[in-house]
Amino acid sequence: MRVFIAGVDGYLGWSLAMYLQARGHEVAGADSYHRRDWIAEMGSQSATPIRRMTDRLQAFRENFNTNLQFIRGDLTDYNFVWNFFRAFQPESIVHLAEMPSAPYSMIDAEHASFTHTNNLIGTLNILHVMRDVCPDAHMVKLGTMGEYGTPNIDIPEGFFEIEYRGRKDTLPFPKKAGSWYHQTKVHDTNNIMMACRFWGLRSTDIMQGPVFGTRIDEMGDDERLLTRFDFDQVFGTVINRYCAQAVIGYPLTPYGKGFQKRGFLPLRDSMQCLTITVENPPDKGEYRVFNQFEEVYDLTELAFLVQKVSKKLGLKVEIRNLENPRMELEEHYYNPDHQHLLDLGYVPAISIEDEMEIMLKDLMKYKHRIEARAHALIPDIRWDGSRRKVGFLDKKEG
């Protein structure tokens, strides 16, 4: 299948290009390199020493015996999208090209606006170009489980049948996102749903939980094929951040009470799920939602797991809760469905502890790169708009 990956220089995008190529798909991609700039803006760097795109493409050619069609460009530029799609005629479009960080979007009005413009306009352009250039293509859109927030009822996959005052309808499940970033994903969801209804487009909206992991098998031993690994307060997701902390002997730092629950999955499962989705497109005009995660954990359970695996590797790791820079429920009901991908054949590939062990071993090689940016691990971006480093809740010396 001809698959276009938007955001092919990113954590998921670069991995997916290899994963799909190894399975016989024809892959093309685009990226604006924004992510590299954002990480620099946050004073951090990828723990893995990622190469610039020209070197990545060279390594891709050597390892997969084929070229990855790549153009640097920005999805907010309509002409760029139109020209790329016109030439490549994608059958599947995997849209991983949005600004993906809650804290980044909460910095100030400018970052909130940038997040809205970047994420919404990019997706609007893809929808319009699909309508006019490749109306049968399938957009696999990366949303987030965070769109739902943490309601006090079960979370279905996108839609639910409700009875209200004696009448019934099937409606989109109400969303309650917790940052400007998460809101832009909700806005996208509403926009994509409408475009499918009006224009007969097909799309799968992936409500993905936080992903963790340093590698997939397709990277082999070629360091040039490594994907990025961010551990800073802004772009590092929780398990990745914990593992980076463990490797440099810094305490693991759940925010607040630490009983926030989320659904997590390893990078290799994210690749498996996205590929299953690409290979099983919805009907014309169909908009469907997959909740994409393997299992639900709370932040404290995860810290204990990282601690346990670290100990096995001879790393001594403390857990110390930090003041929560976010505004969120720290103890709540959480029971989201996640059946659609299992029905299509998703089989979790590895236990969470085995994956953590691989991660910690990988990261130990790059310990110096994490140490060099250790300051970036502790949040200072707060949901009230101020910017002050948070402190430990146990009041011991920090």
d(CA 176, CA 334): 13
Closest CA to 53 of 8, 109, 84, 11: 8
Angle, alpha carbons 294-299-305 (nearest 5°): 75
Residue 136 as a binder of a copy of itself (CB under 8 A): the answer is no
Catalytic residue, chosen from 11, 19, 104, 181, is 181
Annotation marks residue 144 as catalytic: yes
Closest CA to 16 of 138, 8, 293, 205: 8
Contacts with a copy of itself, 281-320, as mask; x by CB under 8 A: ----------------------------------------
Query: Between 65 and 152, whose beta carbon lies closer to a copy of itself?
Result: 152
In this chain, which of 2, 128, 257, 389 binds a copy of itself, going by CB under 8 A? 128
In this chain, which of 66, 67, 89, 190 binds a copy of itself, going by CB under 8 A? 190
Provide the minimum distance between the beta carbon of 168 and a copy of itself in the complex, in angstroms, as a whole number: 7
Query: Between 196 and 376, whose beta carbon lies closer to a copy of itself?
Result: 196
Per DSSP, 257 falls in state T
Q: Both tokens of residue 43?
A: 């004073």
User: For the chain, what's the residue count?
Assistant: 398
* Footprint on residues 321-360 left by a copy of itself (CB under 8 A): 327, 333
* Footprint on residues 60-79 left by a copy of itself (CB under 8 A): 78
d(CA 252, CA 306): 9
Q: Which stretch binds a copy of itself (CB under 8 A): 25-33, 187-195, 362-370, 388-396?
A: 187-195
Residue 174 as a binder of a copy of itself (CB under 8 A): the answer is yes
**DSSP string of 7-74?**
TTTSHHHHHHHHHHHHTT-EEEEEE--HHHHHHHHTT---SS-PPPHHHHHHHHHHHHSS--EEEE--
- Are 91 and 280 a contacting pair, CB within 8 Å? no
Radius of gyration of the chain (CA): 20
Query: Contact positions toward a copy of itself, by CB under 8 A?
Result: 78, 108-110, 112-113, 116-117, 120-121, 124-125, 128-129, 131-132, 151-154, 160, 162, 164-165, 167-169, 171-178, 180, 183, 186-187, 190-191, 194, 197-199, 327, 333, 383-385
Q: Which residues belong to the active site?
A: 144, 181, 185
